[in-house]
Every structure is written in structure tokens, then in C-alpha cells.
Structure 1
């Protein structure tokens, strides 16, 4: 593609800075062709909602093959959601554990990553029993990673911080419509109720939608990518997040629309959690499965608040073509719809 295509990579950094980093990356990989910008191919990748993501190709030194890297341009205002330097440290640490792509280079508004030669999952893949079983086992592996920092729950303080940001950004009309004044009490109450009893804490991805899972078709091995929101949390929260993501199709004509008729039924959730608990070779008893199924279902409420706030804030700060405010409305609607059932009834029995 011609130099004109390089314009796709423009962000807050100059195009010259991005090309300089790509040139260094090419040199580190043993290539020397990035000096000729006409040899670069830039392919936008769809489905990202926090960043803009591109596949960038150039001929290798022998000219017979293409070198592929991934270029990530950070979205506007995303520093509200997480600390970028901390996210980079997480990225590098996960990579050191052999769990994700390598960091190849950084520039002011983004970075260059190793290109994973695997396909990104699609929404329908999450409902394939064989692929779902692979995801369950991979989640358990991810949760057992030993990462820097205190192994303590992060979700509640992060949610409170986001609520403060939402209150400062929102118009009075939106603040009233989304009931922001009542959410402090909701978060406090939910934390108290969901924190009762024993909880297993693990290193959670916290955004395990299908677009953040890649599969090598030959080996059937999975790679979990994109760790912006990763932190220690109850594993039940991460399982709930994955179940909630089954209602979304971010590659449809209406990517913001969530279809809750696609939420996995009890049998499907039970099967997933049984595989998750069995993946390290020890068969769980029914009581353990029941406990985690119930906990994950209740933690869907925390997920709805978390991503509802994310969508509302994003509608003010992110310019990606996505109806963030309508997405937020749907998540808050599900919170209020499901709260009475999940908190005021007996636990689910298998």
C-alpha cells in the first residue's frame, strides 16, 4: 500500500515518530526495508473499543515473506481507566510468563507488539463447546499467574474512582438519567454482600470478550491478549465477565447492542466452571462447582456497574465509532433488572 495508507497511524504522536519506531523494530528483527514507506501495508483491525489496532506488514530481508507486527494507538482519554505504565509492566510480565505477545517498541501514543499468528475468536466461538472448554482451561492458567503487586481485590476501588470521573464529566441530564448520585451506596452495598465468606483471588483479565482471545488453528492453543484492565480480583468476577461477554457481537452492524437472550444458561455455566476447576487435574466436587456458579452469577452485577460506568465515561472521552452511552444504558438496565433476583433469593442449586 502507498504512503497514503500510513496516514491511518496518525495519532497524538507524529507520523515520523511512529515510522522511526517501526524502523528500529524492523532492524531489531533483521529487516531493513522500512525506509521505503511504499513497502508498508497498514490494515485496520476491527472490534477494538479502547484503542485503535492495526496490522502492519513489510517484506523481510529476503523479500519472499512478509513481516507482520501489531501497532496499537491508544484511545483518547483512556488514562482515566488505568495507569498506562502499570499496564505496560503487566504486558511485559505476562509475556515473560509465556502468555502473550512481546512488546517490540513504544511511541508517544501507542506501541508495537509481536503479531500473534492465530485468528481472533468470533462471538459464535464462545458457544462452541470445544472452544469454550479451551477457554475455561486457559482462564484457570491465567488466574494462576504470579504477578507483581499485592494480591488484593481491585474492582471496588476502581469502580469508585470511575464513578467519581463519571460525576465530573457527565451533564446534569446524564447524571440524573443514570442515577449517579445513588451509585456510591450501590457499590458499597454490593461490595459488602459479595465479599461475604471465602473468595479465591487470582490474577484476572477483567475484559475476556471474544476479541481478546486468539486461537492457533493447527495446535488449538489459545492466547489471551490486551491487559489494560487486568488486576487481582475474585476469580468469580472474571468468570462472570466472560459469561456477560457472550451476549455481545462487536463485529455486527450494531456492535453496541447486547442480546441477553444469548446469556449462557445454567447448564452451560456449570459445564464451563467444572472444566475450569478440573483443568489442573483434580476433579472438583459438586459443592465446589455450585459455590462458584453461584458466586459468578452474583458477580455479574459488579460487571454491569463496572462496564456501565466505562461506557458512560467513554461516551465523553473516546472518539471511536461506538455508541458508548447506549451500551452503558443496557449494562445499568441489566444491573437493576437482575439485582432483586440475584441478591434476594436462595442460591442456585445444580
Structure 2
């Protein structure tokens, strides 16, 4: 979601290796990468541990010895994800964030993935992100992302609507599997209905005055690494990073309080929690933007309305994404069911959040 990301001068170059890693039989391909990145590692002693949480890509940790001390993460792009993820943009975002000390080191790219530094810490769960000590860290780190200035005073624009339109054009019209197709036709809104909603979102949200900033755009719990000993959080996975509406990034994060594998939208944060979170965020954001950190109740209320309306766009965006994944992904996940959940929640929330009024 960016139409211009400038990598700062002096940012370390990222080598590209002509290696393709097989997602089902990854060891030989990963060893070729380790030979380039860690030539002192003995191939026979390299250990590999696949992570199973992701629903876009495959992730493998490569390391030596009995403890995961020095780790290189190898991420293999999911099948056909190049249809909806701009991989060049992802690498640029990674390098920009690394230059601002917001991301791990990017070691290299290869034909169907990239390798980067492992960040020590715990990938969070929905129940962690409510704790006052942790939510303040998350709000502060997101404010740091949003406070990264665009290059040379360039005024960034969001291409959320363009991206949404691209996703809409990739949504399948039917599925080969009869049972899946029946479920699709019964439970997913029609193409005409989705087109109308997409237009409604653009007309109603683009006029809310939410600033366009550098966003993560995919701040689910597992993309937040909490390092207890260092007392900080870092965000990982920048596939969807880029310039977007500030309120979208926050609303998207609030939607993720519901979880991914067992989605429970009763966990969406209530008004009191949101106001605390948004105040902590605005204090940090103003600090990063070199303004005074004085935050008024009105500013918090305005952001509250913007965020809850943009949460609708997040549901809609990931609903479209899940329909595309249902067609192409080789990952064992019920993408069609996930799309149904996101669209149902969109239509449930819509009257509630459109009734909210600005102070």
C-alpha cells in the first residue's frame, strides 16, 4: 500500500541470490542460502525448524548448535502471493524500517523469498496485547512507524482504494470444488454487493481527514515480538507495509484482538480501552513528529471515530484477500470461512460505527 517508498541513502545493499527454495522440501535450497550467508556453518550440522503460524508464507529457522542462538530466518513466499503482494515494495519497506531501527536486518532475497534476522522474544497472543504495559509499548512502536517522515517533504498518498480494487478484480467467481462453491455462493456477498460496498467505503472514509503515514498494515498478534528483558516490542512481516491512512493501521490492529485461528469478535476492544490506547499512541506520535506531547480529549475522540470507521475497511480488505487465498493458497487454513467471518463482521459493525459522531 504505497505509491512511493524511498530507501535512505547509505542503507545497506541487499544481495539477491539465484536460489529457489521448495516449500515442501526446503532443506537443500535453504542450505544453498546458508552457504552464502553463513559460509562457516557446516551444512551437515545446520538445524532447521519450520514455524507453522503464518497463513501467507512458509517460515523456517536455520541455526547451529543445541540452542537457537544465531538464527537466520528463511521465508518462502506463499503460492501465487505475487498476485496481491508487491515484493519489491516489501523489500523497500523492510530497508526503510531497518534504517530507522524498526526492523530486523534483511540479509538477502532469493527467487521466491527472503532471509532476515531472528528477533528474540515472544510472538504475542490476543490476551497479551490488552495488558497495560504491553499495549503502551505497541502504541508507542506504531507511533514510531507513523512518525517516519516521507522523503524530501514529499506528501504521501494512500493507495488503499487502488489496492482494494486490484484485490476485487482477483476474487474468484466460482470454485472447482462443488461443496466449496456452494458455500461461496450461499455465504459470501455477491460481486455486485461487494462492488457497492467498496465504493461506499471510499466515498465515506477518504473524507474523514485521517493523515497518510507509513503503516505496517498487518499488525496481528503474531507479528508483534515482545522482548521482556529489553522491555520493548518489535513488529515483523512487512509484506503489506506502505503509505496508508493512520486510522486504518490502528483499526486493523484492533480487529486483530479477535485472533486468527479461533476468531472471536467479542474481543474487539471497547471504548474505554480504545481511549486509553489512543491517548498513549497520540502522545508518542506527537513526540516523533516533533510536536508537543500535549494531547486533548477532542483529539482522542476524533481518532476514536476515524479508527472505528476504518476498521470496516480492514474487514473488507482481508475478506477480499481471504477469497483470493481460498483459490490459490497451499496452506492448510479455511480461507473461505475466514472471508465469511470478515464480511459478516463488516456488515455487523457498519451501522454501529457510522452512527458514531465527531466531537
Please tell me the TM-score bracket, short chain as reference. Answer: 0.7 to 0.9
Unaligned runs of 5+ in 1: 1-8
CA shift for structure 1 position 66: 4.2
Report runs of 4+ in structure 1 exceeding 6 Å deviation: none
CA shift for structure 1 position 106: 2.5
Match of 2:216 in 1: 205
Match of 1:81 in 2: 84
Match of 2:282 in 1: 277
Match of 1:44 in 2: 50
Secondary structure of residue in 2 paired with 1:123: coil
Q: Choose between structure 1 and 2 for higher RCO, CA contacts under 8 A separated by at least 6 residues.
A: 2
Secondary structure of residue in 1 paired with 2:209: coil
Q: Distance in 2 between matches of 1:211 and 1:161?
A: 26
Query: Bigger shift: 196-205 or 290-299?
Result: 196-205
Contact 2:223 2:237 in 1 (8 A): yes
Match of 2:5 in 1: none
Unaligned runs of 5+ in 2: 1-20
Taking structure 1 as reference, are residues 168 and 324 closer, same or farther at Cα in structure 2, changes over 3 Å only?
same
Q: Distance in 2 between matches of 1:139 and 1:146?
A: 14
Report Cα offsets for 1:211-243 as digits up to 9, x if no partner.
Answer: 111122112111111100111111111110010
Match of 1:135 in 2: 138
Contact 1:200 1:235 in 2 (8 A): yes
Taking structure 1 as reference, are residues 294 and 170 closer, same or farther at Cα in structure 2, changes over 3 Å only?
farther
TM-score by length of 2: 0.84
Contact 1:44 1:54 in 2 (8 A): yes
Over the aligned positions, Cα root-mean-square deviation in angstroms equals 2.3
Taking structure 1 as reference, are residues 26 and 234 closer, same or farther at Cα in structure 2, changes over 3 Å only?
same
Contact 2:172 2:327 in 1 (8 A): no
Match of 2:74 in 1: 71
Contact 1:12 1:108 in 2 (8 A): no
Match of 1:231 in 2: 242
Aligned residues: 325
Q: Distance in 2 between matches of 1:235 and 1:200?
A: 6
Q: Distance in 1 between matches of 2:146 and 2:218?
A: 13
Contact 1:167 1:180 in 2 (8 A): no
Contact 2:218 2:240 in 1 (8 A): yes
Mapped pair 1:112 → 2:115: yes
Mapped pair 1:90 → 2:100: no
Match of 2:147 in 1: 144
Secondary structure of residue in 2 paired with 1:246: helix
Mapped pair 1:99 → 2:102: yes
